[in-house]
Amino acid sequence: MVSAVLLLGPVSAAFSQEATPKTKPAPKVLPAPEDLNVRKDLVYKTIDGLELKYDLIRPMQKPEGPEPLVLYIHGGGWRGGNKETLYHDRYLPVVRALSEAGAKWAAIEYRRTVPDEITVVDSLGDCKDALRYFVSHAEELGIDPSRITLMGGSAGGHLVLMTATAPDEDYSMVLPKPSAMPPVAGVVAYYPLTHFGQPEIMEGTSYGKEGRFDPMLGGPFAEKADLAKRLSPIEWLTAQAPPTLILHGDADDILPVKSPRLYVEKAKELGAPVTYLEVKGGNHGFSTPCDPSLPEISETVTAFLKSVLFPGN
């Protein structure tokens, strides 16, 4: 029986744990499952000589006309991870179900933060450029630009919320903005951070340690508080936000459940279309026994994505 908090309506209330800077392992690259129709390592952007790539997963059965797209942004603490985490068992049931329904997937890479070189501003600029790329190339890729959704986990959950709602100014985009830029059709954020590094929010979690956000911000939090605020999705939440599903475990000791709870409270006040699923016993990555179970979580995400990508079906 599902007993987690799942509030439906206009507003209803990455995997294994992200490693610390001292112990961060080299990211494991998962192979693309053979049953998926995957084109690997296509390029959406080149910056400073670096090619940023994506995997394109085509539907198992091509529907008539242009197809909706789910754009996946990986997690990894803004410092690690890779686009192939989409092939993890936690996401594959959703990938397969949407592919069978006639949707494309694109899993992108972005510049990960490097102290004194690359900050989350650059990471976010890449994600926003990826969205611009798929809108600009919608016709040649067979995509319906009015039916693009974003999905990500952990740091990727933060980035999809920012990509969908934050204004484009000051986020290091280099690709031109399409003349017609439809709003994002929907957003799914697994265990995201909606407040970027604020000590009073992060307290009690591994990311609440002093200095943890300094590399991502390009300096000490005390000196970068204004930037941290600009990188906080809660600051950009309005009633015009796209339909959004947020999932978070109440036992998450990596990124605090307090953050999405406050996001949902603000959404209620604004009348923003946010749905929230709090997972009882869920850790960061939903790798512990939890309620609802991981298969039930996947069913919820699948139903949400189908509702925004195939309205009326």
Average pLDDT over residues 230-241: 97
| Confidence at residue 274, expressed as pLDDT on a 0 to 100 scale | 98
* Predicted structure pTM score: 0.91
| Residues 6 or more apart whose Cβ sits within 8 Å of residue 301 | 94, 151, 188, 245, 247
Domain 5-309, CATH: 3.40.50.1820
Say which residue the tokens 């599902």 belong to: 2
Say which residue the tokens 């869920």 belong to: 282
pLDDT, tens only, 33-78: 999 999 999 999 999 999 999 999 999 877 678 999 999 999 999 9
Residue 49, number of CB atoms within 10 A of its CB: 5
| Integer Cα distance of 61 and 40 in angstroms | 19
pLDDT, tens only, 109-167: 999 999 989 999 999 999 999 999 999 999 999 999 999 999 999 999 999 999 999 99
- What are the boundaries of each domain within the chain? 5-309
Confidence category of residue 237, pLDDT binned at 50, 70, 90: very high
More confident residue, 63 or 185: 185
pLDDT, tens only, 271-293: 999 999 999 999 999 999 999 99
| Confidence at residue 172, expressed as pLDDT on a 0 to 100 scale | 79
Average pLDDT over residues 221-245: 96
Q: What are the backbone angles phi and psi of residue 30, rounded to the nearest 5°?
A: -85, 140
